[in-house]
């Protein structure tokens, strides 16, 4: 599936929106992620009730209708979850922000946190991200605990 907009357009738009938000960017990033999660979960016929179903549903969404990157693979383990992203359009916008002395914002990190919490009925915390390669690649790390 191809992107509806060029990566350059999306990167510039993302950077412009978050720059315009200024000091409210972090708060809005969390809210945007929660809204994205809510829209996705409402589009499903039923909430994925376990990690296997959640992984399958999310990866299908991220490779189809909501394709924001070339790769988006979710892995669960005994401590939590990790989303490996490569070729991300949002990261390119964040690079524009960082080059201008601003902080990047990733609504995908917050979307996944919110969606996992609501669907799996767990307490989910974003514990960080690792950026091992080129711009557009990261591992978003989460811990998952019982409510």
Mean pLDDT of the 50-69 span: 96
Tell me which CATH homologous superfamily contains domain 7-146.
Answer: Trafficking protein particle complex subunit 3 (3.30.1380.20)
Decide which of 147 and 123 is more confident.
123
Cβ burial 92-129 (10 Å sphere, 16+ → b, else e): bbbebbeeeeeebbbbbbbbbbbbbbebbebebebeee
pLDDT band at 120 (very low <50, low <70, confident <90, very high): very high
- Domain coordinates in residue numbering, the chain: 7-146
pLDDT of residue 57: 97
pLDDT of residue 107: 96
Mean pLDDT of the 54-68 span: 95
């Amino acid at each position: 599936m191809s992107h509806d907009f060029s990566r350059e357009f999306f990167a510039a738009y993302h950077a412009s929106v978050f720059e315009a938000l200024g000091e409210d960017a972090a708060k809005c990033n969390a809210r945007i992620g929660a809204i994205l999660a809510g829209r996705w979960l409402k589009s499903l016929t039923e909430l994925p009730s376990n990690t296997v179903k959640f992984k399958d549903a999310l990866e299908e969404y991220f490779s189809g209708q909501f394709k924001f990157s070339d790769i988006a693979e979710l892995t669960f383990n005994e401590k939590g979850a990790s989303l490996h992203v490569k070729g991300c359009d949002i990261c390119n916008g964040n690079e524009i922000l960082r080059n201008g002395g601003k902080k990047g914002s990733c609504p995908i990190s917050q979307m996944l946190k919110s969606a996992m919490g609501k669907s799996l009925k767990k307490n989910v915390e974003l514990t960080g991200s690792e950026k091992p390669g080129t711009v557009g690649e990261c591992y978003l790390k989460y811990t998952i605990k019982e409510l």
